[in-house]
Structure 1
Amino acid sequence: MTHAARARRPLSRLAAGAATAVLLLAGCTGVDPAPDGDESADPDASATSAPSTDGPALEEIGTSAAQDLGTDPAEDPAYAEYYAQEIDWGACDGVDGEDLECGTVTVPLVWNDPEAGDIDLAVGRLPADGERTGSLVTNPGGPGGSGVNFLESVPFMISPEVRAAYDVVGFDPRGVNRSAGVECLSDEETDEYLAATAEPGSAEAAELSEKWAARIAAACEAHSGEELPYLDTYSAARDMDVLRDALGSEQLDYLGYSYGTYLGASYADLYPDRVGRFVLDGAMDPALSMNEIAAGQAEGFEHAIEAFLADCLERDAACPFTGTEEEAKQQLIAFFSSLDESPLDSGDPERPVTGAMARSAVITLLYEDGLWRFGREALTDAMKGDGAQLLNIADLSSERQPDGSYRTNATFAIMAVNCLDRPGVADDDWVQQEAERLEEEYPTFGAMMGGDGCTDWPVPPLREPAPIAAEGAGPIVVIGTTGDPATPYAWAESLSTQLDDAVLLTFDGNGHTAYGRSGGCIEAEVDAYLLEGTVPEDGLTC
């Protein structure tokens, strides 16, 4: 399965007060205008073959029920009840923070058939603690990241000046956690899935991947089949406009990280006249197919592990690896492979650390270079026979709690959204050749990123990869980090040129996203934009 942008959350169990964030697994896709939305809500009703002008043909594409409604729902009487809501704010359940308030917003399940039922979206806010100027809606990424839970991180991620002026608002998008969260495997089955391991690129790994993809797809359909066709990003973007109205805002002010940049760009494309101050950090490129995204991430994570190992080797005895950077990489790969054969003792006899779990832990730490120290320590212990720290990091990545439950459904919500949002290449031979290329060129993680996990998904992809222009919106601030493994810098460059009116800010550093972790320069530019409307200089590098 493709590893993509992780939803941001602090690793407080690794370091008290760590102002960092790591995620789950994510991705993105593209936008393409479609016929009027009066067609059947059946996603199979209008499947057509995606065009292939620059590469192999993609999978058949259906039509999203929210893609083109042929009307502005905010002005259409059929949607009047949705656009007449006020949020009844109250106490939050299961979210830490004294000042946090929570409520719900109701949206149509099927956007082109508002009589087909509703979804209640969970919404939270951290009220402005100064002279309030409006609401700043946020999305932490994923897809699958809980925006309500993300509010716990706001004191670490968003400047005091912005928090003084804005109610910071997060929501769980449809299919995520509290918002009609998609249900698939049990907690025990999820443990089994995340621990399942085999040497990446091997026939055994391919068989294992196919088995789990089919099992998860069947479980999701059995438990959440009615919702699955309507969890795409077009639908989530429509939902954000209802949220905007319920917050009493004429325009949407927005801060989106990672996948949240794709959600934000989609909103801007649908509602350009309602775009307020928009910041898209860790940008996704909507013009890429699933396979192109996988290739970009395979390269990004290979560069990230090389940077991590180079830093590690400079620390001599504090590093568990020796020799050159290439020799250190081979030692790490060999260590992972050894755990595919013989899992490592973690202190919990029921949960030894498998190769899959170790790789997940290391990938997680590559999202934030401030956490590389924990990676060195965990790998040092593990290579001496103690896998407790690696298990802890892997559990943080998947949001597994000490009692064995999972805090959110992000492990499966990402699949539910990605499998709708982005098609892959339909030619099996091409896919196999591409997988072999990724394994050869990016030996540490490339073999893990050659498949998409959507072959057995019960709903076809609903969108074609295509640029997003959002004509009439803007100026939009796009941010890219040069050493971002999950959303490579080239994607931010691409999105900033696609958008009709955008500026690009560059953070010259390692890790995923920039605002809240760049050290001050990016934060100063973004804050001036959000607070004063001062548009940053295009091309500014920090």
Structure 2
Amino acid sequence: MPVYGLSAIIALVLIFSVVRAGSTRHAASPISWGPCDPSVVNDKSLSCGYFDVPLDYQDPSVGNARLAVGKINATGERRGTVFFNPGGPGESGIAILDQNVDLLLEVTGGVYDVVSWDPRGVGFLTTPGEVLCFDSLAEYTAFFNGTIELRGIEELGSFDNPADVDALLAQAETMQQKYEEVGQRCLQSPSGKYLKYIGTAATVRDMVAMADALEGPDTPINYFGVSYGTLIGSWFVNMFPERIGRVIIDGVLDPVIFADYEISTHFLHYLVSVDTIYKALVTGCALAGPAGCAAASEGDGPLDVDAKIQALLKTAYNAAHVNPSAPLTSGQIRTDLFFDIYSPTNWSALMNEGYLAAVQIINSEAQGNGSLQERSIDLPSSRGFVKRVSNDSPSYSPPAIWCADNVDLQGTTMADVFRSIIAGTRNISHIFGAGWYTQFYLCSFWPVRSVERYQGPFEKTLANKIIIGSNTYDPITTLAGAQRLAGLLGDDAMLVQLNGFGHTAIVGEPSTCIRNIYSAYMTNGTLPANNTVCEVDEDFGVFAGVTTAEILAHLSNVNV
């Protein structure tokens, strides 16, 4: 799941269990800093370089990886380095560093160099880099033509219609064969020989090796990670508890669930807040009225706005059943909308621009207008990755990382995955349960696991206290996951909560309170009281004239 995006999701306790473990000591020269690649970095104040690490820390004879590394230089008297990971997995740390210079300097007080990197399997500067398993988008599209991979899952009413259940289960064998073949394609790709060396444990050890080179062996390591970066963080603080400096992890993927369960069949457990966030979206739209939200008419309440969205989904659903080539399906809308609610700063554009575009396309579908075949809806999205090679096929870096870290293959079938989606749609998220989130559902058929995985425990005694941040309502990294990790770490973790919506407390919605807490901790070591609750800034409008506080005040009266 990206900083805004997807970030992503996961974990449970066992004992310290590693497929392969050992020292991270890595003799290396400090990074030679120089200008950054202009195709990735626009801010010329950033410095970039490369850092070589062993592909396998237990078997140096395998060879080396080469990490692309970027740095924001401290603006004040330098006190050391803070390592930053923006989530994903699959996001370029260097690109996100470039896009968030001011925010990162604010959080760190300007007294640290902020270093990020493109982890193994990410981007085209690091080796091993981006995982591409098809030669082109056209090849990928032809391979999955006519499947839910491209069209999404068609259903209405929480799979209340048995015909929708039957239609989904009828695709299980085909989709399983497709995903098994994708796994083999990835193994046979240029990235194939590196897949077992990609994963979170390796990323943790790479960060420790960089810290050794930049700051010296055995020095405390400072880290700021969001979204998937919190999985890196929770593994780091438990793999190297004696090296913990100042650490903030924000938007926590429950590491306990991820350690014990297949993500393919348990992904929807991370969606426990997402229907509430959808209610917030339609509530804010109704409060804004037609002047601030195109989906609202005069006098509409949240249920009226919801009814329009549900009618839109039904029209798309009916049109797709009549015309299998319809350009926009209810499944596609549902999946896109899930990612688009990550950031309330985009909700106004979503409901004023994306909604109207969807209405136009879907109404044309319903009227049998074939002229829209090449049109697509451009909803504000948190997803995306800058590519600079000719191969325009989708990246398989996210599943390569998720799946390499996940539990061993369990013999799960695609029918099992589909049944978990049906159950989750009925019991966890009526609105978004039937989205098709490819990077998670591939893992039961991914042929590779990393040479090292950390599976707990997650309750080590740390050298220094850390901060764990969470939104009250995060679509993918739940408050419950943050509370669980904080509970396991006990007095070594201070939980800070933003009473708002969106993915992560630092970027979901603006909060001076959150930023001040993070900055005071990083610069002065000042710890907040455990379970501190911050509010969203009052001058931020989710819609024109509508604040988060107003939406929260009306939320309990909405039942969609």
Q: Which interval holds the TM-score relative to the shorter structure?
A: 0.7 to 0.9
Q: Which amino acid aligns with 2:467?
A: V
Unaligned runs of 5+ in 1: 1-5, 9-21, 36-62, 75-81, 344-349
How far 1:321 sits from its partner (Å)?
5.3
Distance 1:131 1:390 in 2: 50
Q: Give the TM-score taking structure 2 as reference length.
A: 0.77
User: Does 2:119 correspond to 1:143?
Assistant: no
Unaligned runs of 5+ in 2: 363-371, 535-560
Aligned pairs for 1:208-357 within 5 A: 209-210=175-176, 212-223=178-189, 224-249=191-216, 250-288=219-257, 289=261, 290=263, 294-317=267-290, 318-320=293-295, 325-326=302-303, 328-329=305-306, 331-336=308-313, 338-339=315-316, 342=319, 352-357=327-332
Aligned pairs for 1:147-162 within 5 A: 147-160=93-106, 162=108
Q: Give the TM-score taking structure 1 as reference length.
A: 0.79
* Residue of 396, 405, 421 corresponding to 1:435: 421
Matched residue of 1:512: which SS?
coil
**Residue in 2 that maps onto 1:53:** none
Distance 1:420 1:231 in 2: 7
Question: C-alpha deviations, 1:467-496, integer Å up to 9, x for none?
Answer: 512323330110111011110111110111
Distance 1:166 1:403, change over 3 A: same
**Residue in 2 that maps onto 1:421:** 405
How far 1:204 sits from its partner (Å)?
4.8
Matched residue of 2:396: which SS?
helix
How far 1:221 sits from its partner (Å)?
1.2
**Residue in 2 that maps onto 1:509:** 500
**Residue in 2 that maps onto 1:376:** 351
**Residue in 1 that maps onto 2:19:** 64
Distance 1:168 1:147 in 2: 11
Distance 1:523 1:91 in 2: 30
Distance 1:139 1:157 in 2: 14
Distance 1:23 1:137, change over 3 A: same
Segment of structure 1 superposing worse, 137-146 or 455-464? 455-464
**Residue in 2 that maps onto 1:27:** 9
Distance 1:64 1:436 in 2: 33
Distance 1:326 1:533 in 2: 47
Distance 1:390 1:379, change over 3 A: farther
**Residue in 1 that maps onto 2:489:** 499
Distance 1:519 1:389 in 2: 38
CA RMSD across the alignment: 3.3
**Residue in 2 that maps onto 1:199:** 154
- 8 Å CA contact retained: 2:497, 2:533: yes
Matched residue of 1:246: which SS?
helix
* Residue of 454, 464, 467 corresponding to 1:477: 467
Aligned pairs for 1:57-206 within 5 A: 64-65=19-20, 68-69=21-22, 72-74=23-25, 82-93=26-37, 94=39, 95-160=41-106, 162=108, 164-177=110-123, 178-179=125-126, 180-181=128-129, 182-188=131-137, 189=139, 195-199=150-154, 202=164, 203-205=166-168
Structure 1 or 2, whichever has the larger Rg, is 2
Question: How many corresponding residue pairs?
Answer: 478
**Residue in 2 that maps onto 1:45:** none
Question: C-alpha deviations, 1:167-206, integer Å up to 9, x for none?
Answer: 1111111111132122223441456766443415645555
How far 1:433 sits from its partner (Å)?
4.6
How far 1:294 sits from its partner (Å)?
1.6
Distance 1:445 1:86, change over 3 A: same
Distance 1:298 1:265, change over 3 A: closer
Distance 1:205 1:106, change over 3 A: farther
Sequence identity, in percent? 26
Matched residue of 1:529: which SS?
helix
Distance 1:404 1:394 in 2: 25
Question: C-alpha deviations, 1:353-403, integer Å up to 9, x for none?
Answer: 444543343222211111100110211232133899974347762337799
Distance 1:402 1:459, change over 3 A: closer
Distance 1:340 1:398, change over 3 A: farther
Distance 1:89 1:147, change over 3 A: same
Distance 2:388 2:289 in 1: 34
Q: Which amino acid aligns with 1:523?
A: R
How far 1:109 sits from its partner (Å)?
1.0
Question: C-alpha deviations, 1:226-279, integer Å up to 9, x for none?
Answer: 111121211111111111112225221110001111101211112111111000
Distance 1:90 1:31, change over 3 A: farther
Q: Which amino acid aligns with 1:219?
A: R
Distance 1:403 1:218 in 2: 23
Q: Which amino acid aligns with 2:402?
A: N
Q: Which amino acid aligns with 1:216?
A: V
**Residue in 2 that maps onto 1:55:** none
